[in-house]
Amino acid sequence: MWGTTWAAIRFSLEGYPPFLGAGLRFGVAAVVLLLAAAIARVPLGRERRERGLWILNGLFTFVVSYGVVYWSEQWVPSGLGSVLFATFPLFVALLAHLFLPGERIAATSTAGILLGFAGVAVIFSEDLSALGGSEVGLAALVMLISPISAAVGSVAVKRWGRGLHPLSTTAPPMLLAALVLGGGGVAVGEPAHLAPSTASTVALLYLGIFGSALTFGLYFWLLEHLSATRLSLMTYLIPVVAVSVGTFWLGEPMTPRVLLGAALVVAGVALASRR
């Protein structure tokens, strides 16, 4: 599902300015998740570490990471954005090595992570040519803040969130992100540039419900059961899934370049996942 969100962000930006758009996305997601927590009677905020983690996860995983993505995607092609965010496992592996006992970097894991990144770069190699533009190059450089920030959030949840319900590690942080990003958008005058259309609104709702509430709820549930580094490798599979969907559902051609990149990704994930 995350394989489709890069394109959906571009659609949503046609009607919603970046910070307001990101804030509304997480507002929709927070409402869905808080309703789920109420229905399931999940207690929220009973522990001090839980409330502290809401702030950490909200700021690093959602506010900074996605604020940067939405701002940068005004100039950065979605394919190039996928390549830049594919550095996420590299930063997770480094931070996990430093802060998570039992997640030391092994030679095979490092080789697999680098091989997977190479595969993603091959798949979207045509988009890399966009780096030649000064605006695109600057936006791409800023976008690298996103995977670093997201890695900090994931490692923080892995270290201090053990035993917490996934709805606790997603719903309140997303509500915080909605308030901060939405408030930031209002502060810089973005409401004057609102031009919502049916397509951009559908994209926004899709991002909120499926691209945030569902996917992050599942992600933080998996983070409880898998190592942070191993789970981060799914980032490499996102473009492979996106390209496969385009081929089998939309009739887009599967070129030798894409096949090579996909093979490198699969090989890299397999290598990095070896115990």
Indicate the pLDDT class of residue 256, thresholds 50, 70 and 90. confident
Q: Token match 């091989």: residue? A: 115
Q: Chain-wide mean pLDDT for the chain?
A: 87
The pLDDT assigned to 134 comes to 67
The pLDDT assigned to 208 comes to 97
Distances (CA, A) of 33 to 50, 56, 91, 179, 216: 16, 18, 28, 16, 10
The pLDDT assigned to 253 comes to 65
User: Total domain count for the chain?
Assistant: 1
Neighbouring CB atoms inside 10 A of 98's CB total 11
Structure confidence by residue, pLDDT tens digits, 163-212: 899 999 999 999 999 999 999 999 999 999 999 999 999 999 999 999 99
Q: What are phi and psi of 226, to 5 degrees?
A: -120, 160
Q: Token match 């697999």: residue? A: 112
Residue 258 contacts residue 100 (beta carbons within 8 Å): no
Indicate the pLDDT class of residue 275, thresholds 50, 70 and 90. low
> Over 70: is that where the pLDDT of 146 sits?
yes
Residue among 146, 174, 150, 168 nearest 22 (CA): 174
The pLDDT assigned to 82 comes to 75
Higher pLDDT, 83 or 34: 34
- Can you give the residue range of the structural domain that contains 56? 2-272
Residue 124 contacts residue 258 (beta carbons within 8 Å): no
The pLDDT assigned to 173 comes to 97
Residue 78 contacts residue 7 (beta carbons within 8 Å): yes
